[in-house]
Amino acid sequence: MFFVAPAASREAAGRSEQALSAFTRVLEQDSDHVDANYHAGLSAVRLGRQESARRYLLWTLDVDPGHKQARAALASIPAR
């Protein structure tokens, strides 16, 4: 089991770059980890990395189509 708590605490502290790096490490072990994909997407949004954010959020929805927060976050990203 891969824990996202350390990454989430970085995200909550506003350390988006460190959070994204930590979520990425979780995803290297479990690419279908819904929470890690979702929060990586949020971190990428905060860093202005729209394409990365889209990719993480779409993966979240692929694994969990009912993830309302991921759908809302994806909708908030400006169109290409």
pLDDT at 24: 92
pLDDT higher for 74 or 16? 74
Mean pLDDT value across residues 65-69: 97
pLDDT at 51: 96
Q: Which domains does the chain have, with CATH numbers?
A: 16-75 (1.25.40.10)
pLDDT higher for 39 or 5? 39
CA 34 to chain centre: 8
Q: Reduce the DSSP state of residue 67 to 3 states and report it.
A: coil
CA distance 11 to 15: 5
pLDDT higher for 73 or 10? 73
Q: Is residue 54's pLDDT more than 70?
A: yes
pTM score, two decimals?
0.85
